[in-house]
């Protein structure tokens, strides 16, 4: 039995990729389009955060990685990026320092320093969080840019503030994906929408029209959001596979893979 088990480098059991059970129809390619950095971009636009909006207007890579690099005044590793990202991301949604430190695997002191640095860059987010709590206290509900309302009925919920802060970004992303879905159905009937997964849309389309279809999906999902401080267009990234949903990779990776596949076939024919 143990011969069928796989383990990670850390020694934990490696779970199977269940997404591989979903395969495209004959002659089709699966395309998975998702929004890159959507949460923080919506927080930036809804709060009117000047530093973040300036960053997204002239991006310098991944925003949380850039902020951590500025804090430490050096390049940070990918492993460090995942740690520090959890501190900044959790800070947007009023997560306590104790929990942030535990999630990141760092000391309370360092988590506090990172959060303080983040809010020095982005003081508007603190104001945004306060305004959200005032709005709930006054009206009992919040409304997204699309007009979606959420009522908060349990005022004694210890997680009320966290849930309220997370509502607008998460609800806006889901509605944005659904609007992209409608655009595809109305404008591109040749593309089959298979699945919506919060911030992504999974489709299939003819391999012969893959370039055209990929572009159509991305265009359909890039919908302007008009906030008081800015008009926000969240970029959609595309991953594709002709094997299964669990094997999707970036378009650039696929191009290299298909190129090598053709090369090997030609070499066998020689």
- Residue showing tokens 């990141």: 104
Structure tokens at 162: 């966290």
Mean pLDDT across the chain, nearest whole number?
90
Q: Hey, where are the domains in the chain?
A: 52-121
Contact between 39 and 85 under an 8 Å Cβ cutoff? The reply is no
Residue with tokens 């970029």: 235
Q: Under 8 Å CB-to-CB from 181, ≥6 apart: which residues?
A: 193, 196, 201
pLDDT number for residue 88:
97
Confidence of residue 4 (pLDDT cuts 50, 70, 90): low
Provide the 3-class DSSP secondary structure of residue 13.
Answer: strand
Q: How confident is the model at residue 252 (pLDDT cuts 50, 70, 90)?
A: low
Tens digits of per-residue pLDDT, 196-235?
988 999 999 999 999 999 999 999 999 999 999 999 999 9
pTM, full prediction:
0.85
Instruction: Kindly tell me the sign of the dihedral angle through the C-alpha atoms of 112, 117, 122, 127.
Output: positive
Whether 259 shows a pLDDT value over 70: the answer reads no
Local structure of 18: helix, strand or coil: helix
The distance in angstroms from the start CA to the end CA of the chain is 43
Residue 242, CA distances (Å) to 26, 29, 186 in order: 9, 5, 25
Longest pairwise C-alpha distance within the chain: 76
**138-157 tens-digit pLDDT:** 999 999 999 999 999 998 99
Taking 80 as the threshold, does the pLDDT of residue 60 lie above it? yes
> 10 Å Cβ neighbour count for 215?
11
């Amino acid at each position: 039995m143990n011969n069928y088990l796989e383990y990670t480098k850390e020694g934990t059991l490696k779970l199977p990729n269940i997404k591989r059970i979903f395969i495209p129809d004959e002659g089709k390619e699966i395309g998975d389009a998702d929004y890159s950095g959507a949460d923080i971009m919506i927080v930036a636009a809804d709060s009117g955060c000047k530093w973040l909006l300036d960053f997204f207007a002239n991006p310098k890579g991944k925003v949380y990685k850039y902020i951590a690099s500025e804090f430490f005044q050096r390049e940070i590793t990918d492993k460090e990026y995942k740690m520090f990202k959890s501190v900044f991301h959790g800070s947007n949604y009023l997560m306590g320092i104790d929990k942030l430190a535990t999630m990141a695997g760092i000391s309370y002191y360092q988590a506090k320093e990172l959060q303080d640095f983040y809010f020095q860059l982005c003081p508007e987010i603190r104001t945004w969080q306060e305004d959200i709590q005032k709005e709930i206290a006054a009206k009992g509900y919040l409304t997204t840019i699309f007009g979606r309302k959420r009522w908060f009925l349990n005022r004694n919920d210890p997680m009320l503030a966290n849930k309220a802060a997370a509502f607008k970004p998460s609800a806006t992303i889901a509605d944005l994906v659904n609007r992209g879905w409608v655009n595809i159905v109305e404008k591109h009937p040749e593309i089959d929408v298979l699945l919506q997964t919060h911030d992504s849309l999974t489709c299939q389309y003819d391999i012969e029209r893959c370039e055209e279809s990929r572009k159509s999906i991305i265009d359909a999902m890039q919908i302007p959001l008009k906030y008081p401080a800015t008009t926000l267009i969240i970029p959609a990234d595309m991953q594709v596979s002709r094997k299964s949903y669990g094997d999707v990779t970036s378009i650039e990776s696929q191009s290299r893979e298909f190129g090598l596949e053709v090369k090997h076939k030609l070499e066998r024919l020689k």
